[in-house]
């Protein structure tokens, strides 16, 4: 497979996943705020700033906006063309990458991604967003999942497919860490206790935004606690959006690409993914919390960035 094709399929996988995760992130924030709508005593920045911090986008946002409003943040993360990570930009990039490798992907994949792009371009997306933002974000999430499903069902599971998977899982691991981190940035209304009603309902929103509510309840028997949710989203080995699950799959797919036995490494990305995988395999929630959840998640994000660079150097820009 051409290196350029590898690069494009990888980024196609990443961008479509990023579009989905941004939709999830915004939706969870809207949901969280609904829970104490009547008691909001802070500024807009207090409630919407965390989204930008967690996406590391505060600076660009402030450059583009003199005023800080909820609507501006929603627009910035959803539609802003000058934000390279807005949902709309992600869909553009995903389609552009798909266009560059149209000969490698199935027509069904192309049509799915192109339809999503047209949905944004012809104004339907903006209309749906204004009518009902929750349904709109659902729709974006579902379109991305449809794309993943079509990819699995119509694309040869060869090298190019593995690059799509690598992109998808590295992005999803990163996103789950950011969604989880969002909770860290959001302040509780004054007088609320950690573990109290609002706190619990916020953790519930975090779970929902990762489609993890039902799975969590089955395992935890109805007990939504901060450490329970964090443990579930970081360490669970079978839930498909947990960080550990994503890193496990990433490690597998990297080893498949080079036909290296798991547990060994032949190149830098495999070494880094193996390292991160074993760190997650042996992590406990106590050790994570004593380290500090936010710091722990930051560390994971840094390692994923290193991995991305090593991956690119090994396969695409040698």
Partner 1 sequence: MPSLFHNYDPGDFFDEMFVAPGEVRPHYRMLLQRAEGLSVDDFNRKRQIAERAYLNQGITFTVYNDKQEGTERIFPFDLVPRIIPGDEWRHIERGLKQRLHALNAFLHDIYHEQRIIKEGVIPEEIIRSAKHFRPEFMGFDVPKNIYIHVCGTDLIRDRDGRYLVLEDNARCPSGVSYVLESRMTMKRVFPQLFARYGVRPVDRYAQDLLDVLHHVAPASAAGDPTTVVLTPGIYNSAYFEHSFLARSMGIEIVTGADLVVQNDRVFMKTTKGLKPVHVIYRRIDDDFLDPKVFRPDSLLGVPGLVEAYRKGNVSLANSIGTGVADDKVVYYYVPAMIKFYLGEDAILPNVETFLSAVPSDRKYILQNLENLVVKSANESGGYGMLIGPRATKEEIAHFRGLIEADPRNFIAQPVISLSRSPTWCDGSMQGRHIDLRPFILCGEEVRIIPGGLTRVAMREGSLVVNSSQGGGSKDTWVLDGGSGSC
Query: Where does this chain bind partner 1 (CB under 8 A)?
Result: 1-6, 96, 99-100, 102-103, 107, 110-111, 114-115, 118, 159, 163, 257, 315-316, 318
Q: What is the distance between the alpha carbons of residues 13 and 98, in angstroms, rounded to a whole number?
A: 9
Give me the least distance between CB of 258 and partner 1, in Å please.
Answer: 9
Q: Which is nearer to partner 1, 8 or 54 (by Cβ)?
A: 8
The beta-carbon contacts of 79-88 under 8 Å, at least 24 apart in sequence, are 79/120, 79/125, 79/126, 79/129, 83/57, 85/18, 85/22, 85/55, 85/57, 86/22, 87/19, 87/22, 87/23, 87/140, 88/120, 88/125
Give me the least distance between CB of 296 and partner 1, in Å please.
Answer: 33
Q: What is the distance between the alpha carbons of residues 188 and 206, in angstroms, rounded to a whole number?
A: 14
Give me the least distance between CB of 4 and partner 1, in Å please.
Answer: 5
Q: What is the distance between the alpha carbons of residues 178 and 185, in angstroms, rounded to a whole number?
A: 10
- Produce one character per residue of 263-289: b if its CB has 16 or more CB atoms within 10 Å, e if not: eebebebbebbbebbeebeebebeebe
Q: Which is nearer to partner 1, 3 or 43 (by Cβ)?
A: 3
Q: Which is nearer to partner 1, 106 or 201 (by Cβ)?
A: 106
Q: Which is nearer to partner 1, 6 or 274 (by Cβ)?
A: 6
Q: Which is nearer to partner 1, 156 or 287 (by Cβ)?
A: 156
Give me the least distance between CB of 111 and partner 1, in Å please.
Answer: 5
Q: Which is nearer to partner 1, 10 or 216 (by Cβ)?
A: 10
Q: Which is nearer to partner 1, 48 or 163 (by Cβ)?
A: 163
Are the CB atoms for 226 and 199 separated by under 8 Å?
yes
List C-alpha distances in Å: 287 to 70, 235, 271, 290.
36, 12, 23, 5
Structure tokens at 223: 């007990």
Give me the least distance between CB of 102 and partner 1, in Å please.
Answer: 4
Give me the least distance between CB of 78 and partner 1, in Å please.
Answer: 22
Are the CB atoms for 189 and 169 separated by under 8 Å?
no
Count CB atoms within 10 A of the CB of residue 53.
15
Give me the least distance between CB of 232 and partner 1, in Å please.
Answer: 35
């Amino acid at each position: 497979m051409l290196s350029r094709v590898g690069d494009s399929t990888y980024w196609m996988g990443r961008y479509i996943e990023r579009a989905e995760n941004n939709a999830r992130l915004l939706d969870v924030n809207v949901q969280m705020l609904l829970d104490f709508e009547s008691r909001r005593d802070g500024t807009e920045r207090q409630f919407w700033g965390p989204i930008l911090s967690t996406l590391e986008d505060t600076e660009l946002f402030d450059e583009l906006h003199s005023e800080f409003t909820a609507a501006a943040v929603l627009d910035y993360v959803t539609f802003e063309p000058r934000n390279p990570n807005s949902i709309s930009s992600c869909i553009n990039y995903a389609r552009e990458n798909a266009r560059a490798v149209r000969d490698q992907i199935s027509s069904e994949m192309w049509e799915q991604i192109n339809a999503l792009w047209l949905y944004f371009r012809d104004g339907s997306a903006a209309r749906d967003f204004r009518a009902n933002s929750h349904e709109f974000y659902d729709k974006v999430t579902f379109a991305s999942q449809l794309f993943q499903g079509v990819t699995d069902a119509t694309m040869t599971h060869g090298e190019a497919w593995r690059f799509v998977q690598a992109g998808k899982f590295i992005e999803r691991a990163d996103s789950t860490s950011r969604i989880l981190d969002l909770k860290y940035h959001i302040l509780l209304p004054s007088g609320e206790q950690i573990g109290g009603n609002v706190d619990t309902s916020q953790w519930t929103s975090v779970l929902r935004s990762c489609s993890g509510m039902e799975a969590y309840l089955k395992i935890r028997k109805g007990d939504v606690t901060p450490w329970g949710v964090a443990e579930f989203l970081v360490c669970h080995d079978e839930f498909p959006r947990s960080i550990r699950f994503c890193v496990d799959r990433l490690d597998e797919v990297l080893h498949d690409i080079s036909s290296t036995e798991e547990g060994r490494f032949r190149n830098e990305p495999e070494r880094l993914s193996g390292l991160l995988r074993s760190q997650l395999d042996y992590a406990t929630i106590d050790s994570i919390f004593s380290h500090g959840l936010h710091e722990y998640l930051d560390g994971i994000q840094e390692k994923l960035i290193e991995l991305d660079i090593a991956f690119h150097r090994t396969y695409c820009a040698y």
